[in-house]
Structure 1
Amino acid sequence: MLHRLSIRDIVLIDKLNVDFKNGLCVLTGETGAGKSILLDSLGLALGARADSGLVRHGSEKGSVSAEFDLPHNHPFWTLLEEQDIEPEDTLVLRRVVNADGRSRAYINDQPVSVSLLKQAGRALVEIHGQFDTQGLLNPVTHRGLLDAFGNLTTLAAQTKSAFRTWQKLEKERLEAEAALEKARADEEYLRHMVEELSALAPQEGEEEDLAAQRQMMMHGEKLLEGLKQAHGDLTANKGVETMMRNALRHLERISEKAEGKLDEVIEVLDKASEYTSMGIQALERASNDVDLDPRHLEAVEERLFALRAAARKHDVPVTELPSLKDKFEAQLNAVEAGDSALRELREKEQQARNNFTDIATKLGDQRRAVAQKLDGAVNGELSPLKLGGATFGTTIEKLDQADWNETGCDKIAFEISTNPGAPLGPIAKVASGGELSRFMLALKVVLAAADPIPTLVFDEVDAGIGGATAAAVGERLGKLAQDVQVLVVTHSPQVGARGNHHLRVSKAEHGGRVTSTIRPLDDEERTEEIARMISGEQITLEARAAADTLLNAV
């Protein structure tokens, strides 16, 4: 609920703090005292259009802060979380307007856009009367209110989930159809590529092996010549191996007389002899492996160049040719299996569609039944509010399939007719200014428990009525205030007497400047104010007695 409104330098108000309580709060005062300024200020904090004319003359800027107390489960906290604004114990909406008309908006002292402030305002306060009416005049809200009124929110959530599942599967099916169509267009190309790569049969590491072979064969003669020279150097005359064996025999014969000092020499020479023998054998094998066959070189080069040509064709490294072949084969298999997979997707999509239509149809049937109850309840409120010739109706129309959405298959709107026999039409277009607030009051009384907006403001809902009708308006405002906080600006003593709290707006001149003020009334002051509303400026004993009667009758 709205807890406090703080106003600085707005029109006739220089500095004003107003505390509000729960229940029905009535605001009264003489015409021109500043009640409209108070509501203008509240509207400014809720995101209404800023105007330089709102800033008090002689001030550089004006500001309004609206402080709210909200339960922790109120949906507004979710909006704050989405905007990364930390929740606090209280919620403060603030608007600062400069003398040039530019404004800044804040939520809990964090700068926000005016559009976000307006979104917040619509979730917290609904104003009916001289100002732009929100909430119930917007058909977008009607479906949710009808569902909440009829306890259909669970079924509505199931409808939303079923629709999203259907849409997800429809998207998957469309994507699968497009992919299959593209794959079929490429099928001949894929078959050709698979056949070509299968014939080529590239192997892992083949390019590296072929390149090494080619390098060896291209320089085969030089390699062979070098190997032969090395072999000749090792085997010329007696050969290094023979010379080392002879040296070992000489050393072994005298080693016993050297008392172990030749052991290390003998060991090293023995190993050298062994390695020399191994080296000569390796040279011989290497010489034998040198391939000087030009036909073999041609075959190696042909194979190597074929692999590299295929890699260039597909713009991949040679090492990726085997995996590319696997990829083409998988795509070809997908084409061949695509019809089966697509058929399965279509079946799942149809099942999801049927599930959605079943749930949505059930929801639509229940909405129509609930709508009859809502229409009866609202129409029962109209006659006492001097709207006896009017009719309220909830219209529910079936949507074309192209317009089905996560809310179901129905278009829902609250409509009215103000004359017997006249067709129903949108509330905002059919009702006159005086009727509009009373229609809103009738709707709000019936829908109070279903609407999450915690604070309602009615500006002169009693305009143009009096007597029993004004009493009926006051009674319904009091009834409504049992569920939500209600602020009402009124000139009707019958309505004023119904308030749980009473604030009086007045203005006075101080130092050549006119200033509006507002203050709460005690019981005695309240009696005087109700009497003034009855008799005018000259308060009579009869007016005071009538005021007592009204106040005591509540």
Structure 2
Amino acid sequence: MPPRTTSERSAPARDAGPGRLTELRIRGLGAIDDVTLDLGPGLTVVTGETGAGKTMVVTGLTLLFGGRADPGRVRASGKAGVEGRLLLPAGSPVWERAADAGADPDDDGSLILARTVSAEGRSRAFLGGRAVPVGVVAELADSLLAVHGQTDQLRLSRPAEQRRALDRYAGADHLALLDRYRGAHQRWRDLVADLERRRSSARELAQAADVLRHGLEEIEAVGPEPGEDEALGTQAKRLADADALRAAADEARLALIGDVTGDLGGGEAPQDATAALAIAERALAGSDDPALVMLAQDLADAVAVVSDVAGQLASYVADLDADPARLAEVLDRRAAITALVRKFADPGAGVAGVLAWAADAAQRLSELDVSDEALEKLVAERDAARAEVDELGAQLSAGRRAAAEGFAAEVGAELAGLAMKSARVSFSVDSHPDEPGPEGIDDVALLLAAHPGAPARPVHKGASGGELSRVMLAIEVVFAGADPVPVMVFDEVDAGVGGQAAGEIGRRLARLAREHQVVVVTHLAQVAAFADTHLVVDKSPDTGAGVTATDIRAVEDEDRVRELARMLSGLADSETGQAHARELLAVAAEARG
């Protein structure tokens, strides 16, 4: 990461928990030229004048984690880039996936992510110093980041995500049941597909089975053994060259242990290696010199080795068979095996390839069996698998219905404090036991009646943008202790809210920040007062180029009071505004404990 361009801010030391971003650098994006943000743990708020570029922080985060690259956001420099430093616990599954992609941790143990976008729309992603497909980063984002804004409510609007939310709320035992159901459903679908395939293609499968069966019978008739082709080749060569091999072995044996024609004292040299070595050993053994005694022992060992080799040569000669009938038999066997290898194995694979084909063919033959007995057995397996699916699906559905009431009640209680006291939240769980799907037998929908008398409608249709953001906030608060996503981003979830409800939004965001890193773009001082880290986006004309530029700075103490006063009254130096700002900070500090 580059040197920091925002002011340093000390924060209380905290454990990384499920993980958090410590730094974010944005270059050439929208009005931002080059800034680096220090993101502390807990709640970070981003404030600033309308049009200053606050949303670019959210855009940068989304881009970093695999979001769609919009070349229209790239500045005139022609290239935009975002870099982030992610601090993760040692046991995080993100590390395993990152390692699979070739990523390495930085010197401090953090994981560096980067993304670049050109004005032409070309995009590249980097993870731990390695270039990776953008899809890899997007895959990691599912377990790292959740972005919620008025135009980014995809998670909440998808029925599948609503079902996942309800399942997660139902608890660990329910999720274990869901895993069992998924396995049973996959087994049932595989059996259904296999049965349909065998019935619809019985003639073709029977013909294919005949081909495999004939090949297996041909191999079985020869009965090749592993490595037999090599052994036969060696044996055939030995039989064909038996006379030459016997002569060579006899010559070598006689050279090692042949007769001695005289003794050394008579002036005649030994005629074999064993006798020569023995004489040399005796000559040295009587010496008093330790070095010669050791050499004498080495010679004694050599005599033993030579004698052993000579014995093996004698056995070799005795076993050597020059029988022409046996040679013909070996050659016939080699020819039969060679024919199998040519027909059933890849070049160079030998008998091993033939045996591999036979094993594969036997497996395929069992899958091609279209006899009445095989089909009856398959029908019984299919029906048993479907019965298991029905049983687990009914249990899963019952668990969802039991969880739906409590989930809706808790979300409704949170909404009551978010200026939606009259809103009613409920879950619709419609079961279709005759149409089991991979996730169960239920269609799950989160419904919202925004005010009395309003019909309950799917939440993404029954709520305005601001209401939808607050519903998502309420859901995230309910899930605060269980949601595995470590970083949550909320883009102006306080739109259209003021007064006491604004303070309640701040309280809930602060509560979320106890378990997660929360980044919030806000225009409300009541929300900003709860922040652990307060970032301000400033936009000023660039006198050199005639364009605007954005800077982002962290504010503390009196600078923070002035920013809150500006948000409250439009005047940073207003004494009344500053007094109100200090009061908000005191209330927020007391509420956070």
Cα 1:517–1:551 change in 2 (3 A) is: same
SS at match of 2:371: helix
- TM-superposed deviation, 1:5: 0.9
Instruction: Give the equivalent residue in structure 1 for 2:444.
Output: 412
Name the structure 2 match of 1:477. Answer: 509
Pick closer, same or farther for the CA change 1:16–1:538 going to 2, 3 Å.
closer
Residues in 1 aligned to 2:497 and 2:390: alpha-carbon distance in whole angstroms: 48
Q: Structure 1 residues 109, 180: CA separation in 2 closer, same or farther (over 3 Å shift)?
A: same
Instruction: Decide whether the 8 Å contact of 1:7 with 1:15 is kept in 2.
Output: yes
What is the TM-score of this pair, normalised by structure 1?
0.67
- 1:180, CA displacement in angstroms? 6.1
Aligned to 1:261: none
Pairwise CA distance, 1:449: 3.0
Cα distance in structure 1, aligned partners of 2:442 and 2:100: 29
Aligned to 1:3, the other structure's residue is in SS state strand
Contact kept? 2:26, 2:35, Cα under 8 Å:
yes
The aligned counterpart of 2:81 is 63
Picking from 108, 117, 121, the partner of 1:101 is 121
Of 536, 542, 552, the match for 2:576: 542
Deviates more, 1:137-146 or 1:67-76: 67-76
Cα displacement (A) at 1:384? 1.5
* Aligned with residue 461 of structure 1, among 462, 479, 493: 493
Tell me whether 1:447 sits opposite 2:479 in the alignment: yes
Instruction: State the shift of 1:163 in Å.
Output: 1.7
Looking at structure 1, the residues matched to 64 and 507 of structure 2 have their Cα atoms a distance apart, in angstroms, of: 30
Structure 2-normalised TM-score? 0.63
Q: Partner residue of 1:19?
A: 38
Q: What secondary structure does 1:528 align onto?
A: helix
Structure-2 separation of matches of 1:393 and 1:487: 28
Give the equivalent residue in structure 2 for 1:268. none
Q: Give, in whole Å, the separation in 1 of the partners of 2:395 and 2:483.
A: 23
SS at match of 2:453: coil
What is the CA distance between 1:116 and its match in structure 2? 4.0
Matching of residue 47 in structure 1 with residue 66 in structure 2:
yes
Q: Is the 8 A contact 2:150 2:466 kept in 1?
A: no
Counterpart contact for 2:205–2:369, Cα < 8 Å? no
Distance 1:490 1:179, change over 3 A: closer
Q: For the Cα contact (< 8 Å) 2:202–2:370, is it kept in 1?
A: no
Question: For residue 394 of structure 1, what is the aligned residue in structure 2?
Answer: 427
Aligned-residue offset at 1:551: 1.0
> Could you give the per-residue CA deviations for residues 192-214 of structure 1, whole angstroms, max 9, x where no partner exists?
xx9xxxxxxxx99xxxxxxxxxx
Q: CA deviation at 1:430?
A: 2.3
- The 3-state SS of whatever aligns with 2:439 is coil
For the residues of structure 2 that align with 1:335 and 1:354, how far apart are their CA atoms? Answer: 25
Q: Determine helix, strand or coil for the equivalent of 2:185.
A: helix
Q: How does 1:257-296 map to 2 (within 5 A)?
A: none
Rg bigger for which structure? 1
Distance change in 2, residues 1:93/1:428 (3 Å): farther
Residue number among 561, 569, 588 corresponding to 1:527 in the alignment: 561
Q: Given that residues 127 and 134 in structure 1 are in contact (C-alpha distance below 8 angstroms), is that contact kept between their aligned partners in structure 2?
A: no
Q: Could you tell me which runs of 5 or more consecutive residues in structure 2 were left unpaired when the two chains were aligned.
A: 1-19, 215-220, 223-342, 345-366, 589-593
Structure 1 pair 418–146 and aligned structure 2 pair: CA distance change class (3 A): same
Matched-pair contact (CA < 8 Å) for 1:126–1:133: no
Aligned to 1:163: 185
Q: For 1:352-380, what per-residue CA distance to the aligned partner results, in whole angstroms no more than 9, with x for missing partners?
A: 22122111211110111011110110111
What displacement does 1:122 show?
Answer: 4.2
Other structure's SS at 1:512 match: coil
Query: Are the aligned partners of 1:180 and 1:338 in contact in 2 as well (CA < 8 Å)?
Result: no
Question: Aligned ranges for residues 476-515 of structure 1 at < 5 Å?
Answer: 476-513=508-545, 514-515=548-549
For 1:92 and 1:392, locate their aligned partners in 2 and report how far apart those are by CA, in whole Å. 40
- Please tell me whether the aligned partners of residues 114 and 125 of structure 2 are also in contact (alpha carbons under 8 angstroms): yes
Contact 2:492 2:520 in 1 (8 A): yes
Q: Counterparts of 2:370 and 2:80 in 1: how far apart (Å)?
A: 71
Corresponding residue SS for 1:450: coil
Comparing 163-172 with 409-418, greater Cα deviation is found at: 163-172
Cα deviation for residue 343 of structure 1 reads 2.6
Counterpart-to-counterpart distance in 2, 1:165 and 1:154: 17
Partner amino acid, structure 2, of 1:344: K
1:312-338 per-residue CA deviation (whole Å, 9 max, x = no partner) reads xxx99xxxxxxxxxxxxxxxxx99993
Give 5+ residue unaligned stretches, structure 1.
Answer: 195-202, 205-314, 317-333
**Contact 2:44–2:520 under 8 Å retained in 1:** yes
Q: Contact 2:103–2:129 (CA<8 Å) still a contact in 1?
A: no
- Is residue 112 of structure 2 the alignment partner of residue 92 of structure 1? yes
1:33 Cα offset (Å): 2.3
Does the CA-based 8 Å contact 1:126-1:134 persist in structure 2? no
Q: In structure 1, what is the equivalent of residue 175 of structure 2?
A: 153
Query: Where is the helix percentage greater, Structure 1 or Structure 2?
Result: 1
What amino acid is aligned across from residue 546 of structure 1 in structure 2?
H
Residue 175 of structure 1: how far off its partner (Å):
4.8
Identity %: 36
Give the letter for the 1:352 counterpart: A
What does the per-residue CA deviation read over 1:524-554, in whole Å, with 9 as the maximum and x for residues that have no partner? Answer: 3222222222221253222222222111112
Judged with a 3 Å threshold, the aligned counterparts in structure 2 of structure 1 residues 461 and 186 are, in CA distance, closer, same or farther, namely closer
RMSD, matched Cα: 3.5
